[in-house]
Chain A
Amino acid sequence: MGAPYQPMTPRARTSVGFWITGLLGFAILLGSLAIAVSVGAIAVPFEAVWGILINKIAPDTISVDWSKGREAIVWDIRLPRAILACLVGAGLAMVGASLQAVTRNPLADPHLLGISAGGACGAILALLHTGLFVGLLTVPLLAFLGSLGATLLVLAVSQFASATSADRLVLAGVAVSFVVMSAANVLIFLGDPRATHTVVFWMLGGLGLARWDQLLYPAVVLLFAGTYLQLKSATLNAMTVGDETATTLGIPVARFRLSVFVIGAMITGVMVAFSGIIGFVGLMIPHIVRLLVGGDYSRLLPLSALCGAVFLVWADVIARTVMAPDDMPIGIVTGLIGGVFFVWLLRQRIR
């Protein structure tokens, strides 16, 4: 427990330090985006990337010395993909950070708690069985409902097993995750065999489906849900102390926890709908950010979003390049990095 622990970079805890860290992170994010767009099976030089982007915003500023094909690769394929990586990374990191506060467990993560699996289950239902009965919205909608269902199941199981203590809540999540994954696999098994291949690949996590006209859904959800969480950052801080203490501060603990779980399910659901299951981002990123700027959620949430975005942009670069010209599912990359990180975390907690 009270092991000696050197407080890291106390300067980053001040508001000036926060803004410097934030601006630096934003610069890194922009740089990462530029690199991500230029790297790939077909390399596009930096000048061309910037030229294409500038010309898209303000036409005819820069003389065109690149082919139409390159422009299509940058603008229609790689940029939306990189932006989707940002949105998914930011969303999952914020969900992870918030769930850690309301479960008071630093291991909480939408993937470990079965929320991602629930989203996948809902999305598979839409893709293979129900058809797109409300158009493009069907997949994100059913994914959200799936995530929400899994979330409520986790809460119900933890109530049923009287496992309200933090560690056992995660165990309840793992249990639900197994059950929901089996359900998802049954749905795949019962579905059209010709579509199975696509769905299995999608479920392993991938950002290849990014299109400009679909980025709106994750962006809007992230904007609203993220704003809500940010405004509730003081309450999230209070939840880290304990249910009873939070109650004595006048916080409606059960209702607040439920609302954070619903918001978390919403973000996770829509992210899963567009990118499949991408694990460990929500577990890993808030931890690293806590080491940098401390535990105050008013700083932790925005910087987690930023770091999550940067992390996933790079994870996608790795996924696209290691087996180029094929895409490796990004879930494999984050799973590998996250698993190693988890081992490191266990060692930290024992010491």
Chain B
Amino acid sequence: MYPCSMKAAELEVIGASWAPHKSTQPILHPTSFRVCAGRVLGVVGPNGAGKSTLLRLLYRFHKPHSGQVMVDGQDIWSMNARAAAKRIAAVLQEQASAFGLTVREIIELGRTPHRSGFATGRVGDAQVVERVLSSLNLQALADRDFRTLSGGERQRVMVARALAQEPQVLILDEPTNHLDVRHQLEVVSLIRSLGLTIVVSLHDLNMANGLCDDVLVLRDGHPQGFGPPQALLTDRLVSDTFRVDARREQLVPSGTPHFSFTLPH
């Protein structure tokens, strides 16, 4: 039914929760869901809902206090960090802007988990980097200083860096933040075209609607629902989660579903 790419892997989260300290209130309460290989999962919710925390569990930055994160049936904490890095890559909001690396040098960082300890680049690494450069149309920028790029170009480079890891699962944290419309659309179509298992946190519900196969809604660290956006994102759920009056409408003439929001009285 869904195109299951060979390189993608199934991602399953079983009752995972997290708190900064043992004694404090969890930021993320036990959450479970499963993303089939090659599907795109959107994580939505208001600010402070626990989206970033959930993503940090997925890219193995935080260890869950309870529960597990499994890639193709294997707990990511049962493998070492490098093995996990070969399976899961992440595009985050942090960017190396002050240190004068070129686009190619940044993409080469993606080869890090494929090298052992002290070893430097191998021939195979250079081939992967070239392939990623050309597949994302970045050849012309390859020797540019990262600082000289526009926001959209930078985001594409960070995606390229993640792809150079040759991962099975790709995590993206608010990839369309601070981008203009054109660049947002570019990033979205790029994400759709990758054929990887993807988890992406999003601000914009309408974007989640168009981009994702499944959506997970979070509020105050509690999962509110999981499922295909058309079925899951009802007026009621969205209104409750975001504390607004939300109404799903249809755009004319395209017929695209579109949420409009007003403040409740």
Query: Which B residues lie within 8 Å of A244 (CB)?
Result: 56, 59, 61, 90, 92, 94
Query: Which B residues lie within 8 Å of A241 (CB)?
Result: 94-96, 106, 109
Query: Which B residues lie within 8 Å of A231 (CB)?
Result: 118
A240 within 8 A of B: yes
- Stretch of B40-48, B80-88, B203-211 that contacts chain A: B80-88
Beyond A5-B145, A7-B148, A295-B100, whether A249 also contacts B118 by CB under 8 A is: no
Query: Which A residues lie within 8 Å of B84 (CB)?
Result: 250
A298 to chain B, nearest CB (A): 7
Beyond A296-B105, A298-B120, whether A248 also contacts B99 by CB under 8 A is: no
B160 to chain A, nearest CB (A): 13
A235 to chain B, nearest CB (A): 7
B118 to chain A, nearest CB (A): 4
Query: Which A residues lie within 8 Å of B151 (CB)?
Result: 2
B81 to chain A, nearest CB (A): 4
- Determine if A295 and B92 form an interchain contact, defined as CB atoms under 8 angstroms apart: no
- Determine if B60 and A248 form an interchain contact, defined as CB atoms under 8 angstroms apart: yes
Cβ-neighbour of A245 out of B80, B86, B92, B118 (below 8 A):
B92
A238 within 8 A of B: yes
For chain A residues 208-255, which have a beta carbon within 8 Å of chain B? Answer: 231-235, 237-238, 240-245, 247-252
B-contact bits for A280-302, CB 8 A (1 contact / 0 none): 00000000001100111010000
- Determine if B109 and A238 form an interchain contact, defined as CB atoms under 8 angstroms apart: yes
Residue of A nearest to B110 (CB): A249
Query: Which A residues lie within 8 Å of B165 (CB)?
Result: 249
Beyond A7-B144, A10-B143, whether A248 also contacts B109 by CB under 8 A is: no
For chain B residues 135-194, which have a beta carbon within 8 Å of chain A? Answer: 143-145, 147-151, 165, 171
Query: Which A residues lie within 8 Å of B95 (CB)?
Result: 241-242
A279 to chain B, nearest CB (A): 21
- Determine if B145 and A234 form an interchain contact, defined as CB atoms under 8 angstroms apart: no
- Determine if A250 and B94 form an interchain contact, defined as CB atoms under 8 angstroms apart: no
Query: Which B residues lie within 8 Å of A95 (CB)?
Result: none
Query: Which B residues lie within 8 Å of A242 (CB)?
Result: 92, 94-96
- Determine if A249 and B102 form an interchain contact, defined as CB atoms under 8 angstroms apart: no
Query: Which A residues lie within 8 Å of B144 (CB)?
Result: 7
Residue of A nearest to B118 (CB): A231
B112 within 8 A of A: yes
Number of residue pairs A-B, CB distance < 8 angstroms? 111
A101 within 8 A of B: yes
Query: Which A residues lie within 8 Å of B101 (CB)?
Result: 237, 240, 294-296
- Name the residue in A7, A13, A237, A250 with the highest tally of chain B Cβ atoms < 10 Å from its Cβ: A250
Beyond A241-B94, A244-B56, whether A250 also contacts B113 by CB under 8 A is: yes
Query: Which B residues lie within 8 Å of A248 (CB)?
Result: 59-61, 85, 88-90, 92, 171
CA distance A234 to B165 in the complex (A): 14
Size bracket of the A interface:
35 or more
B-contact bits for A84-117, CB 8 A (1 contact / 0 none): 0000000000000000110010100000000000
Chain B interface residue count, Cβ-Cβ cutoff 8 angstroms: 45
For chain B residues 101-122, which have a beta carbon within 8 Å of chain A? Answer: 101-102, 105-106, 108-110, 112-113, 115, 118, 120-121
A103 to chain B, nearest CB (A): 11
B230 within 8 A of A: no
A4 within 8 A of B: yes
A1 within 8 A of B: yes
- Determine if B109 and A5 form an interchain contact, defined as CB atoms under 8 angstroms apart: no
A-contact bits for B193-221, CB 8 A (1 contact / 0 none): 00000000000000000000000000000
A24 to chain B, nearest CB (A): 20
A-contact bits for B223-242, CB 8 A (1 contact / 0 none): 00000000000000000000
Query: Which B residues lie within 8 Å of A250 (CB)?
Result: 80-86, 112-113
Query: Which B residues lie within 8 Å of A240 (CB)?
Result: 96, 98-99, 101
CA distance A245 to B157 in the complex (A): 13
CA distance A13 to B56 in the complex (A): 35
B129 to chain A, nearest CB (A): 13
- Determine if B105 and A237 form an interchain contact, defined as CB atoms under 8 angstroms apart: yes
B225 to chain A, nearest CB (A): 27
CA distance A127 to B178 in the complex (A): 57
Residue of B nearest to A227 (CB): B118
- Determine if A2 and B147 form an interchain contact, defined as CB atoms under 8 angstroms apart: yes
B113 to chain A, nearest CB (A): 4
- Determine if A13 and B143 form an interchain contact, defined as CB atoms under 8 angstroms apart: yes
Query: Which B residues lie within 8 Å of A106 (CB)?
Result: 98-99
Residue of B nearest to A299 (CB): B105
Query: Which B residues lie within 8 Å of A233 (CB)?
Result: 120
A159 to chain B, nearest CB (A): 13
CA distance A237 to B11 in the complex (A): 30
Query: Which B residues lie within 8 Å of A6 (CB)?
Result: 148
Cβ-neighbour of A294 out of B83, B100, B109 (below 8 A):
B100
Tell me the A residues contacting B by CB distance below 8 Å. Answer: 1-7, 10, 13, 100-101, 104, 106, 231-235, 237-238, 240-245, 247-252, 290-291, 294-296, 298
Query: Closest 7 A-B residue pairs measured CB to CB?
Result: A242-B94, A295-B100, A250-B85, A250-B82, A250-B113, A241-B96, A240-B99
Q: A7-B143, A13-B143 are in contact. List 20 more A-B contacts (CB 8 A).
A: A106-B98, A106-B99, A232-B118, A234-B108, A234-B109, A234-B120, A237-B108, A240-B96, A244-B90, A244-B92, A248-B61, A248-B88, A248-B92, A249-B113, A250-B86, A252-B81, A294-B101, A294-B105, A294-B145, A296-B101
**CB-defined A-B contacts under 8 Å, sample of 9:** A13-B102, A101-B99, A241-B106, A248-B60, A248-B85, A250-B112, A294-B102, A295-B105, A296-B105
